[in-house]
Amino acid sequence: MNNVFNTPFEISLRALLMLETTGEQWETADMLAAADFITVYGRDFGISDVNLHGENSFKFSEFTLRRELMKKAVKLLVKNGLIDVSPTDNGFSYSINQKGIDYCARFTNDYANSYRRLAKQARTYIAGKSEREVLALINRHAVSSLQRSEIDV
């Protein structure tokens, strides 16, 4: 069996859950990737007591790959008719549609419920910030994490 972790498919499921929490709001792939990253590593951003994906010394190096995977994931979701796409002056934005909402309703396990709860907290955490500000925030946390690990050596 092929590994589904860190694939566009896995990211697409989380993207759907993230878009479910935003309602009718439109999001870019980069903003979805950033919100997803903050959601799964909520402890590092002070929005949770634990990281949904556990402790990982290299988590911030994942973010570049996460952005690329998110772009593939939203294409997959558009192709499957689960989200809508809208061209804007700054690229494309995405929003969940009714078919996507119905699909998300099937996700009733503990992970999905935890993700939804943390996604709402992440959305509150980044509310009012531009995409550029959110990406800079992740970068600052990455630098801080790297500096802390150098001190621990």
Average pLDDT over residues 128-135: 95
* Nearest to 139, CA basis, from 56, 43, 63, 41: 63
Please give the full DSSP string across 29-97, using - where no structure is assigned: HHHHHHHHHHHHTGGGGTS-SS-TT---TTHHHHHHHHHHHHHHHHHHHHHTTSEEEEEETTEEEEEE-
Residue for token pair 């935003």 = 22
Q: Is the dihedral of CA 12, 76, 134, 57 positive or negative?
A: positive
pLDDT of residue 145 exceeding 90, the answer is: no
Predicted pLDDT of residue 153 = 44
Average pLDDT over residues 91-117: 96
pLDDT of residue 147 exceeding 80, the answer is: no
Average pLDDT over residues 25-50: 94
Average pLDDT over residues 95-99: 97
